[in-house]
């Protein structure tokens, strides 16, 4: 199941929209910012029943 999430880039601070596949459970991956193209680490946590999820962005150099 795909969900969208609004967030702010951890490099340039601009608002971005992420498309998340919450059906895959918890994930940790790299995605480039759609504004400044810097690589961000995306951490996704999904509830066991898939009813809730949380996403966190951080700089890849942190």
23-29: long-range pairs with CB below 8 Å, 24+: 23/50
First vs last C-alpha separation in the chain: 30
- CA 45 to CA 53: how far, in whole Å? 6
Residue 43, pLDDT score: 96
Domain coverage including residue 39: 2-59
Taking only the tens place, the pLDDT of each residue in 20-45 is 999 889 999 999 999 999 999 999 99
Read off the pTM: 0.85
Bigger pLDDT: 62 vs 49: 49
Residue 24, pLDDT score: 86
Residue 37, pLDDT score: 96
Domain total for the chain?
1
Task: List, in order, residues 6 or more apart from 17 with CB less than 8 Å away.
Answer: 4, 5, 6, 7, 34
* Residue 47 pLDDT class (50, 70, 90 cuts): very high
């Amino acid at each position: 199941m795909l969900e969208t999430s609004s967030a702010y880039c951890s490099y340039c601070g601009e608002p971005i929209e992420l498309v998340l596949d919450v059906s895959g459970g918890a994930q940790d991956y790299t995605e480039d910012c759609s504004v400044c193209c810097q690589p961000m680490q995306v951490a996704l946590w999904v509830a066991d029943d898939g009813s809730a999820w949380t996403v966190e962005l951080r700089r890849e150099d942190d």
